[in-house]
Amino acid sequence: MRRSVRIANTAVIALIFFGGGAVKQSSFAARAQQKTASAAEVKIDNFSFGPAAITVPVGTTVTWTNRDDIPHTVVSTDKVFKSKVLDTDEKFSYTFDKPGEYPYFCSIHPKMTGKVVVTN
């Protein structure tokens, strides 16, 4: 028990000592990880998708966030994905496993359109 505590203490000291370097290293690690299972964000503001078109690598999870006072939906034109209605600040995510073009729109306000381009 005592020994393990001591080891833990040592580890803490080491971390503090090389603090700057360690933090940098871990953020590099996170970034590398994001590349293999990457993520992208689309915000809904003022009845529009921003950005309206995004290009992402296969395997990317795209998350839409509704920042309007009015509910919206995210619906694939080709019926690939379809969110429930998103009230203010609600999110919808979809992971794109196949390359291709995925046009989508808001089924409540069909003038709102967007596109996800998935590349290999």
Partner 1 sequence: MSRKTKDELLHDHNHDGVDRRGFLKCMAWAGTGAFCVIKGGVLNSYSLSRLSEMNPADAKGELSFVQISDSHMGFNKPANPDVAATLQAAVAKINALSTPPEFLLHTGDISHLSKPEEFDTVDQILKSATAKDVFFVPGEHDVLNDDGKQYLDRYGKGAQGNGWYSFEKKGVHFIGLVNVMNLKAGGLGTLGQNQLEWLEKDVKHLKSSTPIVVFAHIPLWAVYPEWGWGTEDSAQAISYLKKFGSVTVLNGHIHQTMQKVEGNVTFHTATSTAFPQPKPGEAPSPGPMKVPAEQLRSLLGITDVNFVRGQHALGIIDANLG
User: Judged by CB under 8 A, which of 48, 61, 63, 93 binds partner 1?
Assistant: 48
Query: SS3 for 7?
Result: helix
Q: Is 113 in the site for partner 1 (CB under 8 A)?
A: yes
Among 49, 54, 62, 72, binds Cu ion (CB under 5 A): 72
Q: Does 46 bind partner 1 (CB under 8 A)?
A: yes
Decide: is 109 part of the binding site for Cu ion (CB under 5 A).
yes
d(CA 32, CA 15): 22
Angle at the Cα of 18 from the Cα atoms of 13 and 20, rounded to 5 degrees: 130
CB of 75 to partner 1, least distance (A): 8
- CB-wise, 28 or 78, nearer to partner 1? 78
**Per CB under 8 A, 77 contacts partner 1:** yes
Residue that is written with structure tokens 């089924």 in the block:
107
* 107 contacts: CB under 8 Å, gap ≥ 6: 73, 75, 82
Token pair 């290999």 in the structure block, residue: 120
What residues make contact with partner 1 under the rule CB under 8 A?
46-48, 68-71, 73, 77, 84-85, 87-88, 103-105, 107-111, 113
